[in-house]
Amino acid sequence: MARIFYSMAGEGRGHAVRVRVIVDELRRDHQITLFAPGDAYQLLAPVYAGTDVVVHQIPGLYFSYTRGRVNFLQTTLNAGKYVWQMPRLISRLERAIREQQPQLVITDFEPALPRAAQRCGVPFISLNHQHFLVTNDLSSLPWQLRCSALWMDPIVRSYYSGQVETIISSFYFPPLKPWYKNVVKQIGVLLRPSILRAARQRGGFILAYIRKGVFTSVIEALRGCGRRVKLYGFGRRPREGQIEFCEIDESQFPADLAACEAVVSTAGNQLVGEALYLEKPVLAMPEANNFEQYINAHFLKDSGMGDWVELERVTGRDVAAFMERRDEFVARIDPARLNGNPRALEILRSHLPPCPSSRPAAAVV
């Protein structure tokens, strides 16, 4: 049995979902301590309360939003505050490493724990989505998005370096740059057991997921598309016509994702990948100023598995036109390629001592 420290970014739910998939496999044979900020902590702390997985809250980096748009000024101020307190955080994590002696550190786009691991001489693995901005050949992007990727490249690089493995989890697979071909592992999306075992159906409704605080015009677009919609992200509210407002629930959301006809959502890698695995085409709506989501949306359309429209400009006509092409999009989806779980676990276990599983997998919804 090895001891593993695992940290993650706290923005949105995608990082926590990826981490949970890995943790619930590795905890059968290994002892795991998580370091989670923000949304990730709020999601994971209740899940692992009273179990052998320990969850610690740490500070994190976050986007700030104003009316559904990334606020660069406030985001920069938040980053400055984080950088100011980062030395103390690294020292705190360094003490934890020296006290508990983990054999391996894993990070999902969190910069402090890898730095502490390097100080202590403990190897660490990078497993995330965002490093595609550094490692992949993005020359196929439109020039505006290529410029955005070039701008984000040094920011992603600054998070950490020196990892023994770089694993990139994504629903799309652009070619690697020549000098990364033998050192970077590309895998599909990390899928929760509830997604893997879900029975695909056509339930006659659209599943929509939108972050709170976005433009009310999005709700107007969904209302005007002429279809029944289950809308997640705004919390439970009275029904408005054919729109049912749903509270995010760890069992109901995957069930609805498997039963819907299609997904209309922001362009986060994790949700888009889960939807496509379940053979649900996606109309992606990248958040304004969120360049990573615009790139995700571009590759979604390029794959033929869905389409995209700007969040601020979406109309009911856009949603209706997307639904008319639903079967065309479904025909392009290859679920088997999108499952990154087996390869991710194979790579991680190659850095851990062999240990025949003696405990059943934890129940995960």
Tokens of 196: 């893997």
**207 within 8 A of 214, measured Cβ to Cβ:** no
Supply the mean pLDDT for the chain: 91
Q: Does one domain contain both 102 and 241?
A: no
Task: Give 203's contacts (C-beta < 8 A, 6+ positions apart).
Answer: 256, 259, 260, 261
Q: Does one domain contain both 101 and 198?
A: no
Q: Identify the three-state secondary structure at position 3.
A: strand
So what's the pLDDT on residue 158? 93
- In whole angstroms, how far apart are CA 110 and each of 53, 131, 272, 349? 19, 12, 22, 21
Q: Does one domain contain both 184 and 198?
A: no
So what's the pLDDT on residue 213? 61
d(CA 53, CA 33): 6
For residue 130, the Cα-to-chain-centroid distance in whole angstroms is: 9
Q: How far apart are the first and last CA of the chain?
A: 25
Q: Does one domain contain both 246 and 293?
A: yes
Q: Does one domain contain both 329 and 313?
A: yes
- Nearest CA to 171 out of 147, 153, 195 is that of 195
- Nearest CA to 127 out of 188, 182, 196, 178 is that of 188
- Asked whether residue 284 is assigned to any structural domain, the reply reads yes
- Asked whether residue 361 is assigned to any structural domain, the reply reads no
Q: Does one domain contain both 61 and 153?
A: yes
- Asked whether residue 359 is assigned to any structural domain, the reply reads no
**3 within 8 A of 103, measured Cβ to Cβ:** yes
Determine the number of helices (DSSP H) and then strands (DSSP E) in the chain.
15, 15
- Asked whether residue 203 is assigned to any structural domain, the reply reads yes
Q: Give residue-wise pLDDT tens across range 226-260.
A: 999 999 988 888 898 999 999 988 889 999 999 99
Q: Does one domain contain both 251 and 326?
A: yes
Mean pLDDT of 319-338: 97
- Asked whether residue 288 is assigned to any structural domain, the reply reads yes
**208 within 8 A of 265, measured Cβ to Cβ:** yes
Mean pLDDT of 8-20: 86
Mean pLDDT of 90-103: 98
So what's the pLDDT on residue 364? 42
Quote the pTM value.
0.90
- Asked whether residue 115 is assigned to any structural domain, the reply reads yes
Q: Does one domain contain both 280 and 294?
A: yes
Mean pLDDT of 40-63: 91
Q: Identify the three-state secondary structure at position 81.
A: helix
Q: Does one domain contain both 220 and 145?
A: no
> 202: domain range?
194-337
Confidence category of residue 194, pLDDT binned at 50, 70, 90: very high
- Asked whether residue 306 is assigned to any structural domain, the reply reads yes
The residue type at 345: L
Q: Does one domain contain both 244 and 305?
A: yes
Q: Which residue has the tokens 């050192």?
A: 183
So what's the pLDDT on residue 289? 82
Give the CATH number for residue 332.
3.40.50.2000
- Asked whether residue 355 is assigned to any structural domain, the reply reads no
Greatest CA span in the chain, whole angstroms?
A: 59
Q: Identify the three-state secondary structure at position 246.
A: strand
Provide the number of structural domains found in the chain.
2
- Nearest CA to 113 out of 152, 51, 102 is that of 102
pLDDT at 160 over 90: yes
Q: Does one domain contain both 69 and 172?
A: yes
Q: Does one domain contain both 221 and 164?
A: no
